[in-house]
A and B are shown apart, each in its own frame.
Chain A
Amino acid sequence: MAALGILDSANLNGGQKLAVKYFTVAIALFAAQVLFGLLAGLQYLYPDFLYGVLDFSVNRMLHINAMVVWLLFGFIGAVYWLLEDESGVPVVGLALGNLIFWVFTLAVVAVVLVYLLVQVGPGELKSIWLINEGREYIEAPRWADIGIVVCVLVFFYNVAATFMKGRFTGIGGVLVLDLVALAGLYTAGMWYTPNISMDQHWWWWVIHLWVEATWEVLVGCLLAYGLIKTMGVRRKIVETWLYIEVALLFGSGILGLGHHYFWIGTPEYWLAIGGFFSALEPIPLVAMVVHAVFDAGHHKLKSTNNPALAWMIAQAFGNFFGAGVWGFMHTLPQINLYTHGTQWTASHGHLAFFGAYATIVIAFVYLAVQKWRGNVWMSGELVGGWKWKWALFLLHVGMLGMTMALLVAGYEQSQIERAIEGSGWMGYFAGQAHPWFQQGMVWRMISGWTFAAGFVLLAWDLMTIGKRESRPARSVEMREAPAMA
């Protein structure tokens, strides 16, 4: 171990060195997401802004794609972070993992440059392969699609082979199975079909099942490890709960897919399936409140890393409100008929993605920085601790502000554009011109700047937290060794 408070790679194992690289790119892409979000938000207020240079369609695509990829980089980094610790052996195939990191990063840079400089191409197969596949949220060209699957497969090999060589903990077992689905489901978004309903049918497998199944399970694994590390929660308890939560998530989440099939031309029975599971999807979230209260009373919330724990708590609340409350408000088909595709969806998407996923990646970056600085003190009365608290505060105020502003705009759209004007072209413009919509866009912009300020503070804090600390981290009592499966 090097001196406390100094960033030194000697403090990290091989997997963790690779994880730090992934985290670095993740934060850079997070910055890109914020930047293109701000530009897209400005274009709602000033439609001529960057028109013909960087159109709204390109900004929006970059904003959303950057989010998907930075979260993916963050998740991969988090898994490499815990891999040697969990398995008890060095990462198998680490050199290949490092190579793939550079391939993946360079591919992302190439895709972003093509998005920015080429933007669109003629309606032929070459454009799909080299410029843009045209599927919303997963617009990456076909070569990059294949590249992503290859990268995830190498990542899977690293993880599975390492656990097989070392010990297979409960967290490791769930993780390995989840990574099979993570790589496999992505391919569902790569097949061409001339029928738009069939195309959307498979496209939702990537969007919904990645997000509400494989990512949720991955986050469950990361949270399980995070709680062991920050609070010393017993492994047996955490792993038992991981199994229970995976069962609950799969029980309601997989066929919750049905609420995306309401209006894409699929058979009518999806209204019943989607409605049924959508009504039940929040029950696990509400039930988890009991578990959170139980554990809070049980562990007294003493942690080795307060910023990481705070972001994990933020994850629980963000997931509950973003996915639970904001989702259920407009998920039944009787009302979703009017709300889908309006700013309602954007409101739900902003809070749910930030609450459920961004928070856990940020928590892991704080865990990484702590060890990178020699396992430095990050509990109470941390020197310069105001920065992480203000970053957390500003990011949440900004996100809640955006969510509420989009909610008001979406509420207006669902009434004016959809219900009164019947979803026609003129209805669209009537909805866009309404004062509630326009004021909503102004408040979204103000909140976006608040969020951006929070991001700048977060980035500054991640670069400096623990730098002036000379105390070693608080130790938590680990009551048992990892169980062998």
Chain B
Amino acid sequence: MIEPVELANFFTVFFSAASVILFGAGYALLFAWSRVSARPRLMPLAYAAYLGLAASVITLGLAANLFNSGFWTFIVLLMLVGYLLAPHAVWHLCVGTHTDAPAAESVKLTQPR
């Protein structure tokens, strides 16, 4: 079911796992900031952060022997998709739940057409 991490890969696993979450937060932060402040120039940075996340997930997968099993490979793919789509989904929820708020109009105007 699992293949334990090699001793030489301990640091890589810890570091890449932390990077997954930090790049994930960076992606979410830049994504939301770009839209809430109408700064489309930030969006490429957001996706650059996502690429960092993807690299971290793949590094984690290699160091933690996740690609040696179909189940764990599926989890790697799920993480890649989940972290990519979650900020989009939450953004839509934010806009949807603030639609009738007067101050939300300025936010709505920054939505891409």
Contacts and interface: CB of A to CB of B under 8 A. Distances in A.
Contact of A283 (B32, B82, B98): B82
Q: How large is the interface on B (under 10, 10 to 19, 20 to 34, 35 or more residues)?
A: 35 or more
Contacts, number: 138
B25 interface: yes
Interface in A379-433: 411, 414-415, 419-420
B52 to A, nearest CB: 13
Interface string A319-345: 010001100111111110110000000
A234 B101 contact: yes
Interface residues of A, number: 47
A298 B104 contact: yes
Nearest to A410: B14
A427 to B, nearest CB: 13
B22 interface: yes
The winner among A329, A331, A338 for most chain B CB atoms within 10 A is A329
Given A334-B66, A415-B10, A290 B31 contact: yes
A124 interface: no
B64 A332 contact: yes
A53 interface: no
Contacts of A325: 18, 21-22
Contact of A279 (B1, B25, B75, B89): B75
A479 B103 CA distance: 11
Interface in A267-283: 268, 271-272, 275-276, 279-280, 282-283
Contacts of B17: 328-332, 335
A294 B89 contact: no
Interface in B1-24: 1-5, 7, 10-11, 13-14, 17-18, 20-22, 24
| Interface of A, helix, strand, loop or mixed by DSSP | helix
A332 B10 CA distance: 12
A290 B21 contact: no
| Interface of B, helix, strand, loop or mixed by DSSP | helix
B91 A283 contact: no
Contacts of A177: none
B79 interface: yes
Contacts of A298: 36, 98, 101, 103-104, 107
Interface string B90-108: 1101100110010110010
B28 A289 contact: yes
25 contacts: A237-B101, A276-B75, A279-B75, A279-B78, A282-B21, A283-B24, A283-B86, A286-B28, A290-B90, A293-B28, A293-B33, A294-B98, A298-B103, A320-B21, A325-B22, A328-B17, A328-B18, A332-B17, A333-B2, A334-B2, A334-B65, A335-B14, A338-B10, A411-B10, A415-B10
Which 9 A-B pairs rank lowest in CB-CB distance, beginning with the nearest? A293-B32, A297-B36, A289-B28, A287-B86, A286-B24, A290-B32, A290-B90, A294-B94, A287-B90
Interface of B: 1-5, 7, 10-11, 13-14, 17-18, 20-22, 24-25, 27-29, 31-33, 36-37, 64-66, 71-72, 75, 78-79, 82-83, 86-87, 89-91, 93-94, 97-98, 101, 103-104, 107
